[in-house]
Chain A
Amino acid sequence: MTDLTVKLPGMTLTNPVMPASGCFGFGREYSAFYDLNQLGAVIMKAATGNARFGNDTPRVAETASGMLNAIGLQNPGVQRIITEEVPYLAGYDVPIIANVAGSTIAEYEKVAEAFNHTSSVNALELNISCPNVKEGGIQFGADPDMAASVTEKVKAVSGLPVYVKLSPNTADIVTIARSVEQAGADGLSMINTLTGMQMQLSRQRPLLANETGGLSGPAIKPVAIRMIYAVKKHVSLPIIGMGGICTAEDVLEFLLAGASAVAVGTANFTNPYVCPEIIKQLPRVLERYGFDSAAEAIGRGHDE
């Protein structure tokens, strides 16, 4: 039997596969397709201090091997997430990771602090990499000092392990990763979407109402692998890897590059059963490439 268990700060996962933030809501919709207990964990949709409506529509566009989105962090606000959504997910036996967003450091602190008051959330994913909001988001993720500062402040108010979600929209992701490691991050989550744009020929204008959007899906997988590989060489924090994962083979690529667990986003849209299907395939794929456990494959792509 191939052992899929992985240990991460704040949680032990029965397998390393979880749905990515923003691509799975708060779990209710996909629970109509399958039992969420099969998942390694669930990362919830971003939470902000107050409810947000998000951007105008259209909010999504399709691209070659992927998509652009500019949802704009629509969510009911952290309080309602805690009272209405967390209890639903807590009915399942899977670790819950809360994605924390904000326009100011104070808002990040407020949201992070609010999650101290529920016993069901295992960890925070600090979203300093959302490219689709005018204030906050990526602004904190593109600069090493800002990234460190928000990490430090959130660590100071939160009782939970903090995974900082990094943006690929930066010249030097290794510097950012090192900087948040020094600031006390417990883990990294990477990558968020790459900023892009699509022109609509019929209107001769950008298709998305927000004009720019975040590119996700198979198109960005090589970028994610490259960045995880680079960060793993210089940082000792565990990494939750994501970006274009569609198959169990993709998961193994991420583990080899240095991820300890993975998140699947866009692929849920193409195939609502993609997470349980990958989990089912994973033991066979690990075995085929000579691994007795998922943990054994982590970072093995770096071996001399």
Chain B
Amino acid sequence: MKKRTEMTVETVQEVALDTIEMKLNHPYISTAAQPGQFLHVLAEGHTLRRPISIASIDREYGTITILFKVMGSGTKNLAAMKPGMEVNVVGPSGNGFTVQETPARTALLVGGGIGVPPLYGLAEELQRKGIGVKSILGFQSRAHVFYKEKFERIGTTYMVTDDGTLGHHGLVTDILDKAGRFDHYYSCGPIPMLKAVREQLRGHPGFLSLEERMGCGTGACLACVVRAETESGYQKICTDGPVFDADEVIL
């Protein structure tokens, strides 16, 4: 169950251009959290909370790692937090990734930019469950790349950059067939990327993590809805998602 609580900042560091990795301590949140869920973070002086994905969970030390890009004033304020300070969050929020229990299977992870963080926690979880992981990660340029080595430690990882400064020059969808065989896929990134990934991987079971501007983050205000093949015709990203069965949502 999600709670509103204060998490203590343990470490803050810039891991790529304008990209901050922050480790937050909270015994309850770290126990309850699942990969793919998010924290709804209060940025001091702001009306709306900022949704930030859970990038890694360390249950033993009671910490959650988040990775975020400094975009506007909310993430800028958050980036200025120092170890020992408290961050007000509502979490763990939303429904995360469903990890199939069947052993000896392989999953393909396709991430774009700031859609990469939730896939890292998923990769760790899949590895713990003995499921093979292949990753295709897209970034704007070499300077924006983070967690390359961490993904490589878990499984085969293909890098893609928009400007060709690292790995394949182009889009993640250019090299999806390079990954070879896999059983299901997970993808997070901008909507055009998710659409293209889903189109190319049609026939494979897959899960997509979606982003939309949120109001309440608890399912009450209906700001972050997506049309879906459900009885009501829609799903709420903040509570039904952010992770959805790829066939369920209409993008």
Q: Are B213 and A269 in contact (CB under 8 A)?
A: no
Q: Given A32-B218, A269-B216, is A57 in contact with B224 using a C-beta cutoff of 8 Å?
A: yes
Q: How far is the CB of A41 from chain B (nearest CB, A)?
A: 16
Q: Considering the chains assembled together, what is the distance between the CA atoms of A268 and B4 in angstroms?
A: 12
Q: Are B49 and A269 in contact (CB under 8 A)?
A: yes
Q: Are B225 and A54 in contact (CB under 8 A)?
A: yes
Within 8 A of A (CB), among B114-155: none
Within 8 A of A (CB), among B200-251: 212-227, 232-234, 239
Q: Are A25 and B220 in contact (CB under 8 A)?
A: yes
Q: How far is the CB of B145 from chain A (nearest CB, A)?
A: 22
Q: Which stretch in B30-38, B40-48, B77-85, B179-187 binds the other chain?
A: B40-48
Query: Which residue of the partner chain, among B47, B212, B214, B225, contacts A266 with CB atoms under 8 Å?
Result: B47
Q: Are B220 and A23 in contact (CB under 8 A)?
A: yes
Q: Are A217 and B47 in contact (CB under 8 A)?
A: yes
Q: Are A29 and B239 in contact (CB under 8 A)?
A: yes
A271 within 8 A of B: yes
Query: Which residue of the partner chain, among B46, B215, B220, B234, contacts A60 with CB atoms under 8 Å?
Result: B215
**B221: chain A residues within 8 A (beta carbon):** 22-23, 25, 60, 69, 71, 269
Q: Considering the chains assembled together, what is the distance between the CA atoms of A58 and B224 in angstroms?
A: 7
B26 within 8 A of A: no
> A40-51 CB contact bits vs B (8 Å, 1 = yes)?
000001000001
Q: Are B213 and A59 in contact (CB under 8 A)?
A: yes
Q: Considering the chains assembled together, what is the distance between the CA atoms of A62 and B215 in angstroms?
A: 9
* Max count, chain A CB within 10 A of own CB: residue among B222, B225, B226: B222
A53 within 8 A of B: yes
Closest 8 CB pairs of A and B: A25-B220, A29-B220, A60-B223, A58-B213, A29-B218, A29-B219, A269-B216, A59-B223
Q: Considering the chains assembled together, what is the distance between the CA atoms of A108 and B41 in angstroms?
A: 39
Q: Are A69 and B223 in contact (CB under 8 A)?
A: yes
> A148-177 CB contact bits vs B (8 Å, 1 = yes)?
000000000000000000000000000000
- Please report the total number of A residues contacting B with Cβ < 8 Å: 36
Q: Considering the chains assembled together, what is the distance between the CA atoms of A30 and B90 in angstroms?
A: 12
Q: Given A53-B233, A271-B4, A272-B4, is A62 in contact with B47 using a C-beta cutoff of 8 Å?
A: yes
Q: Are A54 and B47 in contact (CB under 8 A)?
A: no
Q: How far is the CB of B242 from chain A (nearest CB, A)?
A: 13
**B74: chain A residues within 8 A (beta carbon):** 62
Main SS of the interface on chain A?
A: loop
Q: Are A273 and B4 in contact (CB under 8 A)?
A: yes
B2 within 8 A of A: yes
**A45: chain B residues within 8 A (beta carbon):** 222
B1 within 8 A of A: yes
Within 8 A of B (CB), among A77-92: none
17 A-B pairs with CB atoms under 8 Å apart are: A22-B221, A23-B220, A30-B218, A33-B218, A45-B222, A53-B233, A53-B234, A57-B226, A61-B213, A65-B47, A67-B48, A71-B223, A74-B225, A266-B47, A269-B215, A270-B49, A271-B4
Q: Considering the chains assembled together, what is the distance between the CA atoms of A66 and B48 in angstroms?
A: 8
**A53: chain B residues within 8 A (beta carbon):** 225, 227, 233-234
Within 8 A of A (CB), among B34-89: 42, 46-49, 74
Q: Of all chain B residues, which has the CB nearest A267?
A: B47
Q: Are A269 and B47 in contact (CB under 8 A)?
A: yes
Query: Which residue of the partner chain, among A30, A57, A63, A273, contacts B220 with CB atoms under 8 Å?
Result: A30
Q: Of all chain A residues, which has the CB nearest B219?
A: A29
**B223: chain A residues within 8 A (beta carbon):** 57-60, 69, 71
Q: Are B213 and A57 in contact (CB under 8 A)?
A: yes
With A29-B219, A59-B215 already in contact, 9 other A-B pairs whose C-beta atoms are closer than 8 Å: A29-B216, A57-B226, A60-B214, A60-B215, A69-B215, A217-B47, A269-B48, A272-B4, A273-B4
Q: Considering the chains assembled together, what is the distance between the CA atoms of A25 and B74 in angstroms?
A: 26
Q: Are B220 and A67 in contact (CB under 8 A)?
A: no
Query: Which residue of the partner chain, among B4, B47, B217, B225, contacts A67 with CB atoms under 8 Å?
Result: B47
Q: How far is the CB of A201 from chain B (nearest CB, A)?
A: 10
Q: Of all chain A residues, which has the CB nearest B216?
A: A269
Q: Are A57 and B212 in contact (CB under 8 A)?
A: yes
Within 8 A of B (CB), among A221-272: 266, 268-272
Q: Are A54 and B213 in contact (CB under 8 A)?
A: no
A76 within 8 A of B: yes
**A33: chain B residues within 8 A (beta carbon):** 4, 218
Q: Considering the chains assembled together, what is the distance between the CA atoms of A273 and B222 in angstroms?
A: 19
Q: Of all chain A residues, which has the CB nearest B50?
A: A62
Q: Of all chain B residues, which has the CB nearest A65?
A: B47
Q: Considering the chains assembled together, what is the distance between the CA atoms of A80 and B219 in angstroms?
A: 18
Q: Are B213 and A270 in contact (CB under 8 A)?
A: no
Q: Considering the chains assembled together, what is the distance between the CA atoms of A67 and B4 in angstroms?
A: 21
**A30: chain B residues within 8 A (beta carbon):** 218, 220
